[in-house]
């Protein structure tokens, strides 16, 4: 079996993330990791909070905390939300960790030794009112490309173009709001990406065949436009310090590395954190995943499209430039935007549903299923309360939840608390088994290909097949003339419930556990369902004790829907 290294783009420390962040990186990575584990693969799913950069400093100042205090509290708050969504990270680290500092400084030294970092004098925005140079995100203004008036000095949130602060029209300080800005000379370190362009192009040509079109098109657009040398240090109080043994003058000035230099390195840093956090007596080999990793390690990254350039061009250039055998990504799964009624979710503008508020309303499985079933893969997709309600009520409450409840409740009422025996399976059950095996293979194919919407559709079709079988056999009528036939129908349906519990676990883990726990099966350790098992539908034998779980998914009422619209806003006015 392959060893699968999985990472999702690091959620920024500045505030609780919205549903768009969740579906754009962490949730699909979790679904994929869970699936791979069930199929018997060795999986390491790594994530962390991205804690450096100007927004962290600004948020800490607003909260009246030191940056270290703010980041520690925000990390714990984010982790609590991800626990609520049942994100099964192997480790959820912090980019401010000593491990990341060590590895980032190592990368910088190696890049310098190999001639890919140089010190340059540049002209940078200075604010006399604030008494300091303003790093890119400390400068706001109007984007010269699309006219968005809240663009930051590093990237426009609206059109995703990468910027320098001096590109902005009518720039202002993000600290004081002052427009009295000057441009003064200062020194910074530059990563010479221009010298690495051909190597990056060659690397992408060899690995990108399996990437989705979104990822390859963004990477190639950047390469076609040409890679520019990029400053990788900033004037901040918080960040990975420039090492004094290599750049004593810049270290003395308090320069730190740019967040987009150290953040991808934190994938490695967090893996070392995972190894260092091992219990006494346990040894975790982090280097075998990253340094001179063998061909069995397959590395898959998950991220929204605004993060794709940094992961397909900038970080690979960094890894290539250190001239050491660090593991590079095999597949970059990029996602488009999840919109809120056609407008952007925005952390900074507090537009849309945020993950903590989502969990206040409904448990994580409701959100997990809806988001993956509507993942913005080929195009942007829109969240609306009406669509969410319809999906929950139709797919989760009716198709799955109602099937489980009526099968178990009816069987208990007519045959008691054990799976009934009835007669041997017949033609209808053979036909059902063939259909279940076919749909299961389809589901597996889409999961292997990272096609999440199609996988969700195949899972929904598996659930629907059970309902079709139940409607065809109609055990509530069958029992009057043929009790043994009704018992067979219910036994088959109970086996479907167990199958659903196993194969639905990547999408709805809490509900899957409840369905599986309904049956008192000894040694029920199977992690997946084979094609033959899907055809036979006999894993749960007659005589197995069972219980009826509480309602798995409650329907969303019109009153609920109205309250959600009132709290979060519905469709924007025309």
Bind-site residues for ATP: 347
Picking from 153, 340, 343, 326, the residue whose alpha carbon sits closest to that of residue 234 is 153
8 A C-beta contact, residue 50 and residue 56? no
CA distances in angstroms from 54 to 174, 255, 349, listed in the order given:
10, 13, 17
Place of tokens 């890119």: 136
- Name every residue whose Cβ is closer than 8 Å to that of residue 404 and which is 6 or more positions away in sequence: 497, 500, 515, 518, 549, 552
Picking from 393, 362, 351, 391, the residue whose alpha carbon sits closest to that of residue 374 is 391
What is residue 322's three-state secondary structure? Answer: coil
Picking from 22, 25, 91, 574, the residue whose alpha carbon sits closest to that of residue 335 is 25
What is the rounded distance in angstroms from the CA atom of residue 318 to the CA atom of residue 108?
Answer: 9
Dihedral sign computed on CA atoms, order 32, 38, 39, 41: positive
In the annotated binding site for Zn(2+), the residues are 143, 146, 156, 159
Structure tokens at 201: 């192009």
What is the rounded distance in angstroms from the CA atom of residue 34 to the CA atom of residue 31?
Answer: 5
8 A C-beta contact, residue 188 and residue 255? yes
8 A C-beta contact, residue 515 and residue 549? yes
Picking from 371, 391, 403, 356, the residue whose alpha carbon sits closest to that of residue 556 is 391
Give the containing element (helix H, strand E) for 222. helix 213-225
8 A C-beta contact, residue 120 and residue 194? no
CA distances in angstroms from 541 to 276, 313, 416, 487, 496, listed in the order given:
45, 54, 15, 12, 12
What is the rounded distance in angstroms from the CA atom of residue 401 to the CA atom of residue 504?
Answer: 12
In the annotated binding site, the residues are 143, 146, 156, 159, 347
What is residue 156's three-state secondary structure? Answer: coil
Structure tokens at 436: 């279940």
What is the rounded distance in angstroms from the CA atom of residue 549 to the CA atom of residue 405?
Answer: 8
C-alpha 349 chain-centroid distance: 21
Structure tokens at 447: 């999961």
- Name every residue whose Cβ is closer than 8 Å to that of residue 423 and which is 6 or more positions away in sequence: 484, 485, 487, 488
What is the rounded distance in angstroms from the CA atom of residue 349 to the CA atom of residue 360?
Answer: 21
8 A C-beta contact, residue 135 and residue 235? yes
What is residue 412's three-state secondary structure? Answer: helix
What is the rounded distance in angstroms from the CA atom of residue 370 to the CA atom of residue 363?
Answer: 12
What is the rounded distance in angstroms from the CA atom of residue 318 to the CA atom of residue 28?
Answer: 26
């Amino acid at each position: 079996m392959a060893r699968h290294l999985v990472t999702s783009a690091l959620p920024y420390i500045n505030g609780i993330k919205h549903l768009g962040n969740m579906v754009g990186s962490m949730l699909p990575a979790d679904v994929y990791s869970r699936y791979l584990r069930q199929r018997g693969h060795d999986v390491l799913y790594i994530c962390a909070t991205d804690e450096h950069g100007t927004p962290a400093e600004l948020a800490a100042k607003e909260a009246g905390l030191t940056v270290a205090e703010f980041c520690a509290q925000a990390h714990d708050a984010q982790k609590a939300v991800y626990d609520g969504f049942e994100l099964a990270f192997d480790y959820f680290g912090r980019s401010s960790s000593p491990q990341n500092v060590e590895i980032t400084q190592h990368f910088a030294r190696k890049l310098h030794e190999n001639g890919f970092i140089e010190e340059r004098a540049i002209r940078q925005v200075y604010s006399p009112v604030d008494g300091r140079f303003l790093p890119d995100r400390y400068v706001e203004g109007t984007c010269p490309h699309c006219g968005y008036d809240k663009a930051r000095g590093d990237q426009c949130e609206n059109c995703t173009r990468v910027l320098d602060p001096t590109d902005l029209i009518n720039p202002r300080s993000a600290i004081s709001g002052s427009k009295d800005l000057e441009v003064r000379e200062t020194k910074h370190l530059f990563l010479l990406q221009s010298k690495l362009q051909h190597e990056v192009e060659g690397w992408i040509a060899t690995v990108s065949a399996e990437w989705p079109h979104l990822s390859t098109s963004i990477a190639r657009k950047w390469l076609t436009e040409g890679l520019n040398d990029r400053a990788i240090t900033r004037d901040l109080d918080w960040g990975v310090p420039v090492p004094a043994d290599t750049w004593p003058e810049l270290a003395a000035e308090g320069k730190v590395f740019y967040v987009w230099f150290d953040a991808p390195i934190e994938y490695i840093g967090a893996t070392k954190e995972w190894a260092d956090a091992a219990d006494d007596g346990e040894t975790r080999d982090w280097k075998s995943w990253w340094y001179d990793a063998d061909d069995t390690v397959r590395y898959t990254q998950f991220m929204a499209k605004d993060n794709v350039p940094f992961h397909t061009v900038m970080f690979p250039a960094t890894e290539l430039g250190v001239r050491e055998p660090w593991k590079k990504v095999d597949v970059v799964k990029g996602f488009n935007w999840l919109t809120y009624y056609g407008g952007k979710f925005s952390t900074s503008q507090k537009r849309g549903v945020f993950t903590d508020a989502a969990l206040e309303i409904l448990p994580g499985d409701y959100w997990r299923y809806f988001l993956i079933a509507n993942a913005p893969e080929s195009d942007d997709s829109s969240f609306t309360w009406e669509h969410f309600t319809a999906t929950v009520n139709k797919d989760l409450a009716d198709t799955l939840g109602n099937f489980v409840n009526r099968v178990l409740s009816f069987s208990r009422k007519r045959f008691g608390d054990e799976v009934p025996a009835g007669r041997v399976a017949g033609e209808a059950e053979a036909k059902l088994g063939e259909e279940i095996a076919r749909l299961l293979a389809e589901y597996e194919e889409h999961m292997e290909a990272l096609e999440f919407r199609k996988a969700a559709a195949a899972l929904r079709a598996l659930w629907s097949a059970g309902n079709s079988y139940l409607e065809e056999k109609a055990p509530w009528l069958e029992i009057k003339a043929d009790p043994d036939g009704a018992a067979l129908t219910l036994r088959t349906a109970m086996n479907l419930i167990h199958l659903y519990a196993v194969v639905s676990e990547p999408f709805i883990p809490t509900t899957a556990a409840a369905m599986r726990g309904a049956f008192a099966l000894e040694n029920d350790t199977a992690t997946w369902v084979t094609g033959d098992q899907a055809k036979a539908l006999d894993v749960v034998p007659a005589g197995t004790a069972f219980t009826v779980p509480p309602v798995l998914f409650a329907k969303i009422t019109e009153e609920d829907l109205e309250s959600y619209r009132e709290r979060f806003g519905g469709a924007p006015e025309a």
